[in-house]
Structures are given as C-alpha cells and as structure tokens.
Amino acid sequence: MSADKPVAGSAVTPPLRAKRYKVGRQDIVLGDCLRALRRMQAESVDVIVTSPPYNIGLSYRSYPDRREENDYLDWMVQVATELQRVLKADGSFFLNISGSSAQPWLPFELVVRLRDLFVLQNHIAWVKSISVGEDSFGHFKPMNSQRFLHRGHEHLFHFTLKGDVALDRLSAGVPYKDKTNIARRGHRQDRRCRGDAWFIPYETVRGRAEKFDHPGTFPIALPEQCILLHGKQKARVLDPFMGTGTTLLAAQRLGCSGMGMEIDAEYVAIARARLMHDLVNSPLG
C-alpha cells in the first residue's frame, strides 16, 4: 500500500512534475495519483489491483495515515471516480483494504460510497492466517488486547462497471482434492473454482527491512490471482498506489503490461530495482 495525497500540516508534498520510468513493459509514475490518473486515456485499463492507505495509522515514509474519516473517504471517492473513467467496460477493479479493531466500519463505509460508481461483483476474503483444529497456518500478528480477536483476514472487493464481467475461474483455481470428481462430474480438467476465501500467507520475514521498509506490502500471489481471475491475456494492469511494485511484478511475470503510481521516491526506486532484477532473471524477458 501507498498513498500520494498530502494533507494540511504534512511535511511531505508531491513532486510538482511527475517523473516517469519504464522497465520492460511496466511504466512507473513518481507523483500524485490523482494528477496522473486525470492524464490517462479513458477506458484504457483491463485490470486494477491496488491497496490504498487504510487510514488506521500505519507508518508510511511519505504519508500521514490518520486523516479525518470523511476527508479520507471523500479523497478515495475522487480516486475511484478516475478509476471508473479509465477502466474498460469489461474490466475488473480489485480493491484490497482492511479496517482495524478500533475502526471496523471504515472498509464498509468506503464500499457504500462506491456504489454510485461500481457494482460489487465479488467480495473475497484474503485469509492471511487461520487455525484449523489444533493447527495453525500463516503469520499471527500479536494482539495486545483482551477485547478483540486476532485479525486474520483482509477484504478484497471485486468491482466491475455493470456486474456482468465473465471471469476465468479455473485459471485462478485449484486442483480437486477428490480426483474422482473430475470424470464423475464431467469436468474437462483437474481444476475447480478457488471460491471467495483465499488463503495467501506472507512469506516469513524478521523485520521491516525484508518488507522493503514498507508497512503495507502484500504477497505477489494476491495480485497474480486477481489478474488470472480476470482472465484476459496480455492485460493492461494499473496500480495507483504502487508502493514497492508488487502488482507490477505480478503483471510482468504474467506477460502483462502495467502502470504504477507512487509518491515516495524511495519506494519507486525499490520497485524499479525489483522489476529489473525479475526481468533480467525471467524467461519472459
């Protein structure tokens, strides 16, 4: 996650002129996402995958993540209005967002405000950690409270313009557990829909440095699954809150072109380095 609109009193302001970079088929804009979005051609994007600031006090380098709630929601509606404009008629917009135990309503308040712009076609639970019987999987972030349960999931809202976008559920699917179901039910391949609960854990890290000193990264498998689910080959992918470039990295690995926007120059440098390293070491080139 990242953000690029300064607030009153912020010590950080966006660059007066956006800087642009290109790595392979991926374009990066260093600057304010609203300004960059307004310069984009309408109906030019197939898939949007993004994770904006959650407004819950995360420690970003260049953005104060604690704004007055209505101000935050108004700003997000401005961004979403531009996303609606650039999204193709058969496009998908995947919005990853979470509240906190102290602010549980915020994601839903935002989704309600977006009803005038999009149709909520799917609501996916991104499960980051889970307990099954006496076992557990994924990373359980410590919870120092006697009132709240551990937060093991985040929201992934799948928006479309009319709610009628056909998806490639099998490309984003999983093999059958019971292989007799393949022939018995007349399936053509060992693949079924993943459903609307995706268990995608973080890779184990021992400090923020291994997350590129960013407080809100997500695993590359998350945008990969979104792009696969949308199902368009060589799709044009957009992330207006690019952070350290994970969405563009997923796009690159799937043979798609992409554009990312980010206000923090250090995160942009990290994204460029990640993309270049992957490009050099990838058979896709």
Query: What does the pLDDT look like over 21-38, one tens digit per residue?
Result: 999 999 999 999 999 999
> pLDDT per residue over 137-153, tens digit each?
998 877 788 888 888 99
Return the pLDDT at 168. Answer: 96
Q: What is the pLDDT of residues 86-97, one digit of tens each?
A: 999 999 999 999
Q: Nearest 5 degrees, angle CA 42-CA 43-CA 45?
A: 115
Domain boundaries, the chain: 19-128+150-281
Q: Does domain 19-128+150-281 have CATH number 3.40.50.150?
A: yes
**What is d(CA 257, CA 252) in angstroms, rounded to the nearest whole number?**
7
Residues in Cβ contact with 169 at an 8 Å cutoff, skipping those fewer than 6 apart: 193, 194, 229
Confidence of residue 67 (pLDDT cuts 50, 70, 90): confident
| pLDDT over 70 (residue 18) | yes
Residue 56 in this model has a pLDDT that exceeds 50:
yes
DSSP structural state of residue 204? P
The whole-model pTM stands at 0.87
- Count of CB atoms within 10 A of residue 65's CB? 17
Residue 237 — very low, low, confident or very high, per pLDDT cuts 50/70/90?
very high
Could you tell me the two tokens for 222?
A: 């998350």
User: What's the residue count for the chain?
Assistant: 285
Q: Which residues contact 204 (CB under 8 A, 6 or more apart)?
A: 139
Mean pLDDT for the stretch of residues 173-197 = 92
Residues 19 and 31 sit within 8 Å (Cβ to Cβ): yes
- Residues paired with 204 in a beta bridge: none
Residues paired with residue 233 on neighbouring β-strands, in sequence order: none
Residue 177: helix, strand or coil by DSSP? coil
